Amino acid sequence: MRYLKKLLICVYAYMGAVGVAAFVAWAATGEEPMALIAGVFGAAGVESIIAGIMRINEMHAEADARREERAERAREGNLEKNDF
């Protein structure tokens, strides 16, 4: 999870830097770099979606592991009241 957080922080920092650079370019030339903006922000959006899917898969794996652990304890007879 730490890798994913670092990756997303870097992606968003890069988006911010590109946004500032695009604003400076627009202020200097008067022309908006639309292709650059669309490409960078589109790629960052796809990266965010992929990161979300990865996180959902991690959460499902953790839930399956907890469910399996509870089933193992139930087979051994070591269930507690809040294990349901």
pLDDT, tens digit (0-9, with 9 covering 90-100), for 55-72:
899 899 999 999 998 888
Dmax over CA atoms of the chain, in Å, equals 74
Structure tokens at 3: 């890798």
What is the tens place of the pLDDT at every residue in 8-42?
Answer: 888 889 989 998 999 998 999 988 888 888 888 88
CB 19 within 8 A of CB 30: no
Contact residues for 73 (Cβ-Cβ < 8 A; gap 6+): 79, 83
Supply the pTM of this predicted model.
0.62
C-alpha–C-alpha distance, residues 70 and 80, integer Å: 10
